[in-house]
């Protein structure tokens, strides 16, 4: 496993919820990342982020790691949830909030 893949694996394992995105939650640098952040923020659960624009190795490596071609990518409890469209579907159905709260240990 390459160093980049090892770094990504460790990030995913160490964070119950982690979003690989373009930009930061405060300054998303693409519309898909912005919509994803808005959905996550409205669920009220903390999450880690990685700005893939700061590291080309991570930007390409995360696509290989999850076998998913696009950014953003959301991982919950080590599992790839998907990209913006899937995240928005889960958000609209209420499933995203449930999964996030479960990952954070805040099941209602």
Q: Over range 5-17, report the average pLDDT.
A: 96
User: Is a pLDDT exceeding 50 seen at residue 106?
Assistant: yes
Q: Is 43 annotated as a binding residue?
A: no
If one counts every other C-beta atom within 10 angstroms of the C-beta of residue 17, the result is 20
Confidence label for 108 from pLDDT (cuts 50, 70 and 90): very low
pLDDT digits (tens, 9 = 90+) for 22-73: 999 999 999 999 999 999 999 999 999 999 999 999 999 999 999 999 999 9
Domain boundaries, the chain: 3-103
| CATH dotted code for 3-103 | 3.40.30.10
Backbone angles phi, psi at 107, to 5 degrees: -70, 130
């Amino acid at each position: 496993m390459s160093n980049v893949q090892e770094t990504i694996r460790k990030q995913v394992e160490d964070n119950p919820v982690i979003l690989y995105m373009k930009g930061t939650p405060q300054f998303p640098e693409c519309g898909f990342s912005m919509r994803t952040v808005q959905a996550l923020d409205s669920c009220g659960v903390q999450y880690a982020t990685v700005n893939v624009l700061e590291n080309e190795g991570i930007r390409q490596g995360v696509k290989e790691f999850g076998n998913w071609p696009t950014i953003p990518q959301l991982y919950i409890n080590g599992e790839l949830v998907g990209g913006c469209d899937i995240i928005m579907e889960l958000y609209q159905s209420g499933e995203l909030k449930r999964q996030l709260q479960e990952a954070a240990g805040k099941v209602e």
